[in-house]
Amino acid sequence: MNTTLMWIGNAILLVVVLPVVIALLNRLLIPVIRIRRAAEAILDGGVDLMNQVDPVPALLAETDVAVFGVTNGALRYTVSVTKLLPPKQPAPAPSRNHAKVEV
């Protein structure tokens, strides 16, 4: 009788419990596989982005040189223009006599 109950328990385990466990694992593994694929796609995008950012320091150095050149040109231009303009006349001082206005 003890052996019969053991065989019945094994049959229930194989017929009922094992398919439920497999179904639950399948429901778990499908999202995990999707998450892994999405993570790999994000990693690939990050690597592509880093490859595009690599030349930025050289471009910034080139921009600094251009800004320095423009600054020097603007300074030379303003010095030349100030030489061409007549000297600035001082503004007249306001008078101390304030006439009282009656309303």
User: For residues 43 and 35, what is the distance between their CA atoms, to the nearest angstrom?
Assistant: 12
Specify the pTM.
0.45
Sequence letter at residue 49 = L
Report the percentage of the chain scoring pLDDT > 90.
Answer: 37
End-to-end CA gap in the chain: 125
Alpha helices in 13-101 (DSSP H): 18-53, 56-84
pLDDT value at residue 103: 56
Mean pLDDT of 78-85: 85
Q: Locate 45 and state its tokens.
A: 């995008």
Across the chain, mean pLDDT equals 86
Taken in order 10, 16, 21, 23, is the CA torsion positive or negative? positive
pLDDT value at residue 45: 93
More confident residue, 101 or 8: 8
Query: Would you say residue 99 has pLDDT above 80?
Result: no
Model confidence pLDDT, tens digit, residues 21-39? 999 999 999 999 999 999 9
